Amino acid sequence: MDKSEIKARIEELSASLRQHNYDYYVLSAPTISDFDFDQSLKELEKLETEHPELAGENSPTKRVGGDITKKFDTVAHEYPMLSLSNSYSREEIVEWENRIHKLSPTTPTYVCELKYDGVAIGIRYEDGKLKEAVTRGDGSKGEVVTTNVRTIKTIPLQIKGDFPAKFEIRGEIFFPLENFNRLNEMREELGEDLYANPRNTASGTLKLHNSAIVAERGLDCYLYGVYGENLAAPSHSEAVKKAGEWGFKIPDPAKNRITTCTSIDEIMTFIDFWDKERSKLPFEIDGIVIKVDNYIQQDDLGFTAKSPRWAIAYKFKAERVETTLNEVTYQVGRTGAITPVANLEPVLLAGTTVKRASLHNADQIAKLNLHEHDSVYVEKGGEIIPKIIGVNEDKRQPDANPVIFINNCPECNTELVRKEGEAKHHCPNFVGCATQIKSRIEHFISRKAMDIDGLGPETIDLLFKQGLIENYADLYLLTFHDIVELERMADKSANNAIKSITDSKNIPFESVLFALGIRFVGETVAKILAKHFKNIDALIAANLEELINVEEIGDKIAQSIILFFESETNRDIIARLKEYGLSFEMIVAEDASDVLANNTFVISGVFEKVSRKELKELIEKNGGKNTGSISAKTSYLVAGENMGPAKLAKATDLGVNIISEDEFLAMIS
Ligand code: IVH
């Protein structure tokens, strides 16, 4: 391919990937397989790496992030970013509508929208390209977070259709609840502090310096306003429709997420509907926004100093109840983290009975100024755990004592520690604290770790109480009799448990490493470490510098690994597990070699003796690398039946070695 052909191919791939991104993320209606999408993306990445001068700044390859922003610049907003006047009272909405109605020459049309609970963003487009994304800041100037905003898949980098040369679009960036809860589950698994709510976490995420992390977290954005001159739309509802045509994510009228109407009754129907239904949404909203639709009418109504007169927000009262704090208890996690829990007088909240709420850490208790038997306000957002958001101090007994965070572990009485920079207290008695040991055993046997069936938390507790297990290595000494004699244990279940323990000896090294329960070593980190160090001895021997040099391993993870292996108890347990036959090294396939090392392969067509999948596996097993498209860097094209003539021509053009299936098999035999 000559340069103009490469340029054309890059443009073709970019346009098609852009459309597929839109179909997938905005419309939730993909039209190609993930595999085909990845293939095209890889081809584009490759072309851009080889010809960086042809790579567009808004290329679909830029979505994965990776660029670092050291400091966010501040810029002035072209149109001030105002806020809405808020009201919790329906009467005020009626009054507002009345006023508007009286001032309007004709019956006004209103647009009712959801009030997304996230962070406001203004995004400037020029000639259809995303130029700059700025936070609200103080309303007149905000911070430039373009690099991070580019990673949000529902925000187009290049828009399509008939758009104005210059405009700004505003909307709300939010954390979809599924992604937020997944993030917190991951943090819990790693022994890290949980994020309090989706809104603050969205805001914090937008200010992260590493855009790759932003990309991974999965923020989303709904657009709610277009600003500029010559917008070619007479009203807000038309402008929103246009924005949808340009490729932005806009609310779906078919799901009643936006509506136009002309009476207060219809406005109230919309409010009532979402007051009931909002808990079913996959993201949080905190109210409804009502806007006068027509732009000329909006102009006539104008602004107050802080907000437009043509719009108002009805805020939902958070689903909040008041109840009594019975007691604060403290949970000890697998890694020793202490979480205070408020035990409450049971109360009905958003359809479920709430008995407990997390208090997160000592600072939270102090911030609430919590006293024994306080009457507390409990709220439930999208998060799984309800939270205490305040105290009704009027109801406090005069002699009530403040809640004082414990000094010693509630399980083993060891003095707690709180490291600098960490929000949580920890029980440092890693080897002797019963709760930590039991939850480590539970983690060890869990599905993604050693995948041992038939031993629930109660059974672990019984085995522990009877002194049959003191750590996870002891599981491998258990006999059928040990288990069957436990309360409520049938022969069949005991047999299953023993079989499952024996089977777990075949679990691969990376899962065993995850099962050990090293703080901050989740599934992904365990995989990286296993691949890099190949066996446990090399990992134990690694010093801080060697660990940090491994891609994606930071200081915090490295320190935690060192701490874990410094413990003689841990090293003894590992020695025993080794003795019992668990895998502590990466299994290298018997037929593996490195004869293809440093060679890159492209396979094309249909093969006779092996499938395409097997062929790819053989390449990797023998140290070679598979890629999707041919370039000057390709070492071999393995050509099968019916391979595309274009590929063949390209390979010939670039002087790539073209080999048959038999020639390939001979190379590795
Ligand atoms: S219109 C002049 N529409 O609510 C302001 N705002 O105080 C025009 N918000 O931070 C804003 N959903 O980011 C508008 N459908 C919606 C909204 C919305 C959420 C946010 C906005 C601002 C706050 C208003």
303, 329, 358, 363, 559 from 337: Cα distances, Å: 51, 14, 13, 14, 17
Q: Is the CB of 117 under 6 A from ligand 1?
A: no
C-beta of residue 128 within 8 angstroms of C-beta of residue 158: yes
The residue among 527 and 371 whose pLDDT is bigger is 371
What 3-state class would DSSP assign to 364? helix
C-beta of residue 301 within 8 angstroms of C-beta of residue 292: yes
Strand ordering across the sheet containing 110-116: 86-87, 311-315, 285-292, 110-116, 258-261
The residue among 594 and 392 whose pLDDT is bigger is 392
Q: What number of other Cβ atoms are within 10 A of residue 230's Cβ?
A: 9
Please compute the mean of the pLDDT values over residues 233-242 and round it to a whole number: 95
C-beta of residue 147 within 8 angstroms of C-beta of residue 138: no
* pLDDT at site 504: 96
How many angstroms is it from 527 CA to the middle of ligand 1?
Answer: 43
Protein residue whose Cα sits closest to atom 10 of ligand 1: 120
Q: How confident is the model at residue 191 (pLDDT cuts 50, 70, 90)?
A: low
* pLDDT at site 352: 77
Q: Does residue 188 carry a pLDDT above 90?
A: no
What CATH superfamily classification does 3-62 receive?
Helix hairpin bin (1.10.287.610)
Q: pLDDT exceeding 90 applies to what percent of the chain?
A: 62
Q: How confident is the model at residue 537 (pLDDT cuts 50, 70, 90)?
A: very high
> Which fold is adopted by the domain 434-579?
DNA polymerase; domain 1 (1.10.150)
Q: Is the CB of 83 under 6 A from ligand 1?
A: yes
Q: How confident is the model at residue 472 (pLDDT cuts 50, 70, 90)?
A: very high
Q: Among 191-195, 335-339, 578-582, whose mean pLDDT is lowest?
A: 191-195
What CATH superfamily classification does 74-315 receive?
DNA ligase/mRNA capping enzyme (3.30.470.30)
How many angstroms is it from 223 CA to the middle of ligand 1?
Answer: 10
Please report the sign of the dihedral spanned by the C-alpha atoms of residue 367, residue 369, residue 371, residue 373: negative
Tell me the range of 61-75, 189-203, 310-324 where mean pLDDT is highest. Answer: 310-324
Q: Is the CB of 113 under 6 A from ligand 1?
A: yes
Q: Does residue 591 carry a pLDDT above 80?
A: no
pLDDT digit string, tens, across residues 443-469 = 999 988 999 998 988 999 999 999 999
Distance separating alpha carbons of residues 189 and 334, to the nearest angstrom: 9
Distance separating alpha carbons of residues 620 and 568, to the nearest angstrom: 38
Classify residue 162 as left (phi > 0), alpha (psi -120 to 50) or beta.
beta
Protein residue whose Cα sits closest to atom 13 of ligand 1: 120
Q: Is the CB of 174 under 6 A from ligand 1?
A: no
Q: Does residue 170 carry a pLDDT above 70?
A: yes
Q: Does residue 383 carry a pLDDT above 70?
A: no
Please report the sign of the dihedral spanned by the C-alpha atoms of residue 597, residue 599, residue 601, residue 607: negative
Q: Does residue 275 carry a pLDDT above 80?
A: yes
C-beta of residue 619 within 8 angstroms of C-beta of residue 613: no
Mean pLDDT of the chain: 90
Give the start-to-end residue ranges of the domains of the chain: 3-62, 74-315, 320-395, 434-579, 600-668
Protein residue whose Cα sits closest to atom 15 of ligand 1: 115
Please compute the mean of the pLDDT values over residues 229-257 and round it to a whole number: 93
* pLDDT at site 403: 97
Q: pLDDT exceeding 70 applies to what percent of the chain?
A: 99
Q: Could you check whether 320-395 and 600-668 share the same CATH topology?
A: no
C-beta of residue 619 within 8 angstroms of C-beta of residue 596: yes
Please give the CATH number for the structural domain made up of 600-668. Answer: 3.40.50.10190
Catalytic residue among 46, 70, 71, 115: 115
Probe residue for ligand 1, chosen from 84, 258, 293, 309 as the CB with the greatest number of ligand atoms within 8 Å:
84
pLDDT digit string, tens, across residues 98-152 = 999 998 888 999 999 999 999 999 999 999 999 999 999 989 999 999 999 999 9
Distance separating alpha carbons of residues 68 and 323, to the nearest angstrom: 46
Q: What number of other Cβ atoms are within 10 A of residue 276's Cβ?
A: 9
The end-to-end CA distance of the chain, in Å, is: 35
DSSP character at residue 581: T
pLDDT digit string, tens, across residues 243-256 = 999 999 999 999 99
Clarify whether 115 is annotated catalytic. Answer: yes
How many angstroms is it from 227 CA to the middle of ligand 1?
Answer: 14
> Which fold is adopted by the domain 320-395?
OB fold (Dihydrolipoamide Acetyltransferase, E2P) (2.40.50)
Tokens standing for residue 510? 């990376």
Q: Does residue 436 carry a pLDDT above 90?
A: yes
Q: How confident is the model at residue 382 (pLDDT cuts 50, 70, 90)?
A: low
The DSSP element (H or E) to which 168 belongs, if any, is: strand 166-174
Q: Is the CB of 164 under 6 A from ligand 1?
A: no
Strands 352-358 and 110-116: unpaired
Scored b (16 or more CB within 10 A) or e, 412-425 reads bebebeeeeeeebb
Strands 375-379 and 387-391: antiparallel
Alpha helices in 79-194 (DSSP H): 90-103, 146-149, 177-189
Q: Is the CB of 84 under 6 A from ligand 1?
A: yes
Cα 477 off chain centre by: 40
